[in-house]
A and B are shown apart, each in its own frame.
Chain A
Amino acid sequence: MMGTIKLAGQGCLAIALTVLLGACGSDDSVVSSSRISTGQMQATLEVYSDGDDSAYASAQLLNEHSQTSGDEYVELLEGDELWFTTGVNLREETLGSNWFESLAELAHTQQLLAGTTRYRSDHLFFFWSVLTPEKVHYNGQLEDVPDGARYTVSLLRDSKAEALESTVTMPRAFDLLSPTSDQTLSRSSDPVQLEWLPTESDVMVEVDVTTTCADDSEYQYRTTVDEDTGALQIEAGDIDAERLSGSCSTTATLTKARLGQLDSAYAGGSISARQVRTVTFTTVE
């Protein structure tokens, strides 16, 4: 009898927890793009490059006039599409008289962003992303892109106002010279000296240093500077406020970021481009 009561009690507890979690959980929802105008959309458009001649774009759209208490993420349906290009927006492209050649070129310079709700674990760029993972967002990739290219992300809509001209120029490629992957530094007594070349004006420098140890303990240090001087020093002890123990793997990610011009058809938001470099080295106590 006591066992039954105990089991029933556990069942009630489980139900109560489920209800509580449901109540406390996010009220975020998804809304079809066919139900809202472009002027109701908040756009977050992010372009990344890691220096391998590829560029990645991620985009997320929110309904500014959400009818729920949480965020309403926009799912693109019924001919609404996001395109990513190093050329002009797709509406301005023409195939001319040589379709076969023109289409082959367009296939390399125009990329449809595909929708997903998966977390972007395939690369490290999410460190500085303001997109909400696990919510519907759109991704695409262009190959063989020129250094410092100007990117355009276009929202094409067959039956509503379009937002074709959100543009941003990627910061130039750079080499992260220090630290190097064969270096071993003391977290408590060695400063981390970051050096890179070349420098560039009108960019913001973002640094993330994450240290992961064998016992799965982790510490993350982040900082941002407004000027690209080619060097930044992290003082000794700053990457280890948690008192990590032993030999650990430390990854420094240096990002040069630039904001672009979002199409005025959106209610608001941002478009940004980031040039990212990472290096992993060893740290000891």
Chain B
Amino acid sequence: MSKFRATLLAALGFTGLVMAGPALAQVELDFSAGASFPSASDYDSDVFANTSLGYRMGDWSARAGYLSLGDFELDSDVADASITMRGPYMQAVRRFETRLLTWELGAGAARLESEAELSGRLLDEQSEWGAFVEVAGVRQLVDGFSLKGSYLYFNDRLGSDVSALAVGIRFSF
């Protein structure tokens, strides 16, 4: 098979999927906020915020979003020091329906932009991919509107694991 024919078939297949999509798919818009906790001792927890746009196909969802993991301040009397982490992400989510809740298990990668400051001076900044996992419980309240609670975990980001607990809302259409 020539390279041209293979590309053409792939393009036709993708177009077919997209055209078939609306019958199966649903768009999900999530907003959530909560608290994030670094495992590194001497650092305070902070506010966590997350927003994403998802595309649901059957039991699977693909999401893209932006999260603010936190501005973690050193618990110190002698200096103001903090590490900030935030950035865009992509995520794949598998859904499991139960009678009470819909459970979602997700894995993703975030392009975290991190900054370290000491007494207001920027010491270092870095932009790097980091993997995370998430588990969430979703409860539909009314048609197109759901309540979501989630736990998200990053392993070893610049010397500390970071976890976040959040609650939020989801619009589906």
Partners in one complex: yes
- Could you give, for residues 59-99 of chain A, a 1 whenever the CB lies within 8 Å of some chain B CB and a 0 otherwise? 00000000000000000000001000000001001110111
**B121 & A100 in contact (Cβ 8 Å cutoff):** no
Residue in B76, B83, B116, B159 with the greatest tally of chain A CB atoms within 10 Å: B159
**B160 & A100 in contact (Cβ 8 Å cutoff):** yes
Whether A28 sits at the interface, judged by CB under 8 Å, is no
**A99 & B118 in contact (Cβ 8 Å cutoff):** no
Whether B70 sits at the interface, judged by CB under 8 Å, is no
Nearest B residue to A142 by beta-carbon distance? B78
**A100 & B43 in contact (Cβ 8 Å cutoff):** yes
Please tell me which one of the listed residues B43, B78, B83, B120 contacts residue A108 in the complex, with CB atoms under 8 A apart. B78
- Could you give, for residues 93-112 of chain A, a 1 whenever the CB lies within 8 Å of some chain B CB and a 0 otherwise? 11101111111101110111
Q: Complex Cα distance A102/B43, Å?
A: 12
Main secondary structure of the interface of A (DSSP, over half): mixed
Whether B136 sits at the interface, judged by CB under 8 Å, is no
Whether B158 sits at the interface, judged by CB under 8 Å, is yes
**B159 & A106 in contact (Cβ 8 Å cutoff):** no
Residues in B whose Cβ lies below 8 Å from that of A104: 40, 42-43, 74, 76, 81
Nearest A residue to B82 by beta-carbon distance? A103
Interface residues of B in 49-84 (CB under 8 A from A): 72, 74, 76, 78-79, 81, 83
In the complex where A98-B158, A101-B40, A103-B83 touch, is A110 in contact with B124 (Cβ < 8 A)? no
Interface residues of B in 137-163 (CB under 8 A from A): 158-160
Distance (whole angstroms) from the CB of B40 to the closest CB of chain A: 4
Q: What 10 A-B pairs have minimum CB-CB distances, sorted nearest first?
A: A98-B159, A100-B40, A112-B119, A99-B158, A107-B79, A100-B159, A107-B81, A100-B160, A95-B124, A103-B81
Can you report 30 A-B residue pairs in the complex whose CB atoms are below 8 A from each other? Answer: A81-B121, A90-B121, A94-B124, A95-B116, A95-B158, A97-B159, A98-B159, A99-B116, A99-B124, A100-B38, A100-B40, A100-B43, A100-B160, A101-B40, A101-B159, A103-B74, A103-B81, A103-B116, A103-B118, A103-B123, A104-B42, A104-B74, A104-B76, A104-B81, A106-B118, A107-B74, A111-B78, A111-B79, A112-B119, A112-B121
